[in-house]
Chains A and B, each alone.
Chain A
Amino acid sequence: MQFGIFTVGDVTTDPTTGRTPSEAERIKAMVTIAQKAEEVGLDVFATGEHHNRPFVPSSPTTMLGYIAAKTSRLLLSTSTTLITTNDPVKIAEDYAMLQYLADGRVDLMMGRGNTGPVYPWFGKDARDGIALAVENYALLRRLWTEDVVDWTGEFRTPLQGFTSTPRPLDGVPPFVWHGSIRSPEIAEQAAYYGDGFFANHIFWPTHHFQRLVGFYRDRFAFHGHGTRDQAIVGLGGQAFIRPKSQDAVREFRPYFDSAPVYGHGPALEDFMRETPLTVGSPQEVIERTMTFREHFGDYQRQLFLADHAGLPLKTVLEQLDLLGEHVVPVLRREMDALRPAHVPDAPTHASRVLAAQSPAPTAQLTTAGRAA
C-alpha cells in the first residue's frame, strides 16, 4: 500500500497571524514539503494543477521535475492533471519527459477541473467537460502506446503521422489514475481502461464516494481486468495531528473556521462526524483511516491533504513528521496484514515494465510492486 500527500497549492492567509505567504514562498514550501515527505518515509507526493488564484501550481511537470532531482525514492504524481483543458499531445510529451528525469518515479491522476471559467481561457467549453475527458484521454493513450499516430477528433486539430517524443521510458507509459468527485462516467472510464480510480474523499461524506468506488469496482470486473477487489483504488483524506487530541482540535479550529472550502459554515465537530476529516492524535488518525478500508475495501493508495487553509510551513512539516513516525508505519503494517494475497499493490514503473515483458495480459494486476 502506498501512502503520501496531495496538495492543492492554495495561497491562503493564516487566520491566526493575518499573514499571507507570497507565491514564491508557497511554491518553495511545496518543494520543501515534498522533500520532507520522502525524508519521513512516505511513498507519494502529488500536486494539483490550477490556473486561477489563489492557487499557484499551474505547471506540475516543472515542479515535479525539480522535486525529482531533489529526491531519490518518492513517487511523483498529480492531483489532478487537467485532461480537459490541456492538449493531450503536450501531456503525453511532458510526462514522458518527466519519466526519464525521475527514472520512472511518475504516475498521474486525470481530472476535469471544477471551475467553469478556466475552460474558455484555454479555448474550451466547460459544458464539454466529460466529452473532453473521454476524447483527450483516448488520444493520450494512443500517443503513449503507438509510435506513429493518425488521428481526427472533435476537440483538437488532426494529427498525421505524428510521433510524440520522447517515447515513454522503457516503452511503458506512466500509470494513470482517474480522479472524480461526482461523475460515474469517469469511474466508467477508469474501469474501461483498467486504470486506477481515485476518490478525492475530502470535504464530502464517505457514503457519497462509496457509491463512486463501488461503481468503479463493478465496472472494472465487467470490463475483464480482474475481480472487483482487484481494482486499483486510491483515496484522499485530511488529517490534522498533534500528540494530544485536544491540542490538535484547539490548534486547527481557527484554520477550519476560516478555510475557503468549509469555513464560516459547519462546526469542526459536525464536519469531522460527517466527512473523513480527522483532527486528533496519531491513534485517532490511524483508527479513522482503518475505517476507510472497511468502507471501500482493500485499496492501494492513501493520500492525505496536509498543507491547506493557511497552515504555516512549520506546522505542515510537523504534520509530516507525525504521519511518518507514528501514523503511516502502523497503517502500512495493519493494512498489509489484512489485505488478501490476490489483491494487487498499486502499479509502479518497475511492476509495469515487468508486466509488459510477461505474456499474461493481466499480469500487471497481480504483480506485487512498490516504489523501490
Chain B
Amino acid sequence: MTRRIVVVSAGLGQPSSSRLLGDRLAAAAARALRAEGEQVEVDVVELRELAVDLANQLVTGFPGARLAAVLDRVAAADAVVAVTPVFNASYSGLFKMFVDALSVGSLDGVPVLLGATGGSARHSLVLEHALRPLFAYLRATTTSTGVFAATEDWGSPGELDTRVDRAGRELAVLVAGLARPAAVDPYDVSAVSARFSALSA
C-alpha cells in the first residue's frame, strides 16, 4: 500500500527555506516508512503558486478549479507536512488562507508534522503557541516534535538533522499506526434523510 505524504509549504523565497525544510521532513518520514516496508509518495504543494487562487476564493466563497484540486489532494493525504515562515510572531497570512480554504473535517485525524522557519531561534515557540492550537482545532493528529529551522540551523546541519529525523520517525509511526477515519459525506443519503426525519417528527 502506498502512503501519500503531502508537503504544504508557505515559503515565498526562491529558493525557499520553508520548502527546503518541508522536503527534508517528508524525506525523513518516507525513510522511516520505507524501512518498515511501506511504499511512499511525496507530493509538494507550494502555496506561493496558489496566492491568487486563495485570494479569489476569499472573495467568491468557493475555490477555483486549480485550488479545489489541491484541497482534494490534501484531504486525501495519509500525512501532511505543513511548513510556514514566521511572519510577525505567527504563521504567514498565505498559510492561514490555505488552512481557511480547507473544508470542515478534511484533516480530521490526519497525521501532521509541523514546521516553521525564521531568522532567529527566538521564534521557535511559534510552533507551540500558533501552529499547534490551529491544528488541534482542525482535529489533526500532530507529532509531538515540531521542527523550527532558524537561519543559523542551516549552517550547522547536524543538530537540525537530528530533529528532522526524530520528527519524521514520529510521523511515520502515526501513519503506520492510525486508520484514517472515514470522511463525512454531506450527501450521505441515510444521514440526510435521518436528519430531515428527526426535524420533521
Contacts and interface: CB of A to CB of B under 8 A. Distances in A.
Given A134-B200, A184-B192, A188-B192, A274 B64 contact: yes
B137 interface: no
Interface string B159-175: 00000000000000000
A131 interface: yes
Interface string A262-280: 1111100011001000000
B189 A134 contact: no
B60 A203 contact: yes
B187 A215 contact: yes
A279 to B, nearest CB: 16
B60 A265 contact: yes
Given A134-B199, A135-B199, A265-B55, A271 B60 contact: yes
A204 B61 contact: yes
A187 B186 CA distance: 12
A247 B37 CA distance: 62
Interface in B85-121: none
A218 interface: yes
A100 interface: no
B39 interface: no
Contacts of A189: 196
Interface in B27-65: 55-56, 58-62, 64-65
Nearest to A271: B60
Nearest to A130: B199
A204 B195 CA distance: 25
A219 B200 contact: no
A184 to B, nearest CB: 5
A270 B73 CA distance: 22
A208 interface: yes
A215 B189 CA distance: 8
Interface residues of A, number: 28
B72 to A, nearest CB: 12
Contact of A263 (B59, B64, B65): B59
B193 A265 contact: no
Contacts of A270: 56, 64
Nearest to A133: B199
A205 interface: yes
Interface in B117-154: none
A192 interface: yes
Contacts of A215: 187, 189, 192
Interface string B176-192: 00000000001101001
Given A134-B199, A274-B65, A184 B187 contact: yes
A138 interface: yes
B59 A138 contact: no
A193 to B, nearest CB: 10
A261 B62 CA distance: 11
A265 B59 contact: yes
A152 B64 CA distance: 46
Contacts of A184: 186-187, 192
Given A218-B189, A266-B56, A185 B62 contact: no
B55 A185 contact: no
A109 to B, nearest CB: 19
Given A265-B58, A266-B56, A185 B64 contact: no
B189 A219 contact: yes
A329 B59 CA distance: 35
Nearest to B62: A204
A131 B60 contact: no
A293 interface: no
Nearest to B65: A274
Nearest to B195: A185
A134 B199 CA distance: 6
Contact of A262 (B60, B187, B193): B60
Contacts of A271: 60
Contacts of A156: none
B199 A188 contact: no
A95 B53 CA distance: 44
Contacts of A131: 199
Contact of A264 (B59, B62, B64, B196): B59
B60 A188 contact: no
26 contacts: A134-B196, A134-B199, A135-B199, A138-B200, A185-B195, A185-B199, A187-B192, A188-B193, A189-B196, A192-B196, A203-B62, A205-B65, A215-B189, A219-B193, A261-B60, A262-B59, A263-B59, A265-B55, A265-B56, A265-B58, A265-B60, A270-B56, A270-B64, A271-B60, A274-B64, A274-B65
Given A192-B196, A215-B192, A265-B59, 7 more contacts: A138-B200, A185-B192, A185-B196, A203-B61, A265-B58, A266-B56, A271-B60
Interface of A: 130-131, 134-135, 138, 184-185, 187-189, 192, 203-205, 208, 211, 215, 218-219, 261-266, 270-271, 274
Interface of B: 55-56, 58-62, 64-65, 186-187, 189, 192-193, 195-196, 199-200
